[in-house]
Amino acid sequence: MNIIIGKNGFIAKKLLSRDKYQVTTSSINYEDALFLDLKNPEKFDYSCLNANTTIVFLAAVSSPDECNNNYEESYKVNVIGTKYFINEALKKSVKVLFFSSDVVYGNMINTVDEDSQTNPFGNYAKMKDEVEKTFDGFENFKVFRLSYVLSQEDKYLSYLKSCIDKNEIAEVFHPFSRKVVYIDDVLQAIENIIEKWDTFDNQKFNICGEEDISRKDIADFYNEAMENKLKYSVTEPDEKFWEARPKDINITSLYLEKLIGLKPTKIKDAINKIIQGEK
């Protein structure tokens, strides 16, 4: 049995459309789901878990700004509740795939991989790093450190599309770069690690693309695919924006190509696929 913790995100929704997963919910009105409130994880019925269970742990307060502005509430979910649940699951010999973030590396000009030391930037990153370190060395605990995931539900692409539809000039933050990864590669990585868990001795995986992609690059790729209908201006984010986000994280992965069986999708190609899917 595969269980998704955090059903509302776009990765979870894509997984649910591909395969049959059990989901959890904190809403008593949601049918066919296991009840879990990460603010009160002790109320979860852990008797349903066993050695044949894999947890895909996507739940988190993921906004860096929210983790800064509402630190205590975010910490209850992202650290206290998360650690409690994972600890109880591991006691049942459950496999736990925990979703972390590339921000655990902090601002990095030099290239970092899964063997590099973390240097978390901001409260969100520190919370993810704390959970990772708590279960470091547990063979049934693996970590996906996600870079920026590009998908059809991407808010930035939706914003660019709305600017074209409204004939408005888009505001593009620059510089702001990541090793952007396409959603289909993420989904393939999830499915493959569930099937090949014991094939990989490493605990951590950087889930990232091979190219350093800026918001401006994405706008240019999108504009080209949309026959140059997009108008945009480049704006440098203010200092408050950077309080919760590193400017650049130059990560690479030692394991992703082996895990998904091919090189990560080029983001220009991914944008073309997304636009073709909308037509």
Rounded to whole angstroms, the Cα distance separating 113 from 207 reads 10
Q: Is residue 73 part of a domain?
A: yes
Q: Is residue 40 part of a domain?
A: yes
Q: Is residue 239 part of a domain?
A: no
DSSP letters for the chain:
-EEEE-TTSHHHHHHHHHS--EEEES-TT-TTEEE--TTSGGGS-GGG--TT-EEEE------HHHHHHTHHHHHIIIIIIHHHHHHHHHHTT-EEEEEEEGGGG-SEEEEE-TTSPP---HHHHHHHHHHHHHTTT-TTEEEEEE-PEE-TT-HHHHHHHHHHHTT-EEEEE-S-EE--EEHHHHHHHHHHHHHSGGG---SEEEE--SS-EEHHHHHHHHHHHTTT--EEEEEPPPHHHHTSS-SBEEE--SSHHHHHTSPPPPHHHHHHHHHHHH-
Q: Is residue 226 part of a domain?
A: no
Which residues does 210 contact at the CB level (< 8 Å), separation at least 6? 179, 252, 263, 264, 266
pLDDT at 278: 60
Q: Is residue 237 part of a domain?
A: no
Q: Is residue 219 part of a domain?
A: no
Q: How confident is the model at residue 29 (pLDDT cuts 50, 70, 90)?
A: low
Contact status, residue 236 vs residue 187, Cβ threshold 8 Å: no
**Residue 110, Cβ density class (10 Å: 0-12 exposed, 13-18 middle, ≥19 buried):** exposed
Number of domains in the chain: 1
**Measuring CA to CA, which residue among 210, 216, 206 is closest to residue 265?**
210
Residues spanned by the domain of 91: 2-151+180-210+251-265
Q: Is residue 164 part of a domain?
A: no
**Measuring CA to CA, which residue among 190, 171, 194 is closest to residue 181?**
190
Reported as a single tens digit per residue, the pLDDT across 249-270 is 889 999 999 999 999 999 999 9
Q: Is residue 273 part of a domain?
A: no
Q: What CATH number did the domain enclosing 72 receive? A: 3.40.50.720
Of 3-7, 92-96, 142-146, 202-206, least confident by mean pLDDT is 3-7
pLDDT at 194: 95
Reported as a single tens digit per residue, the pLDDT across 182-191 is 999 999 999 9
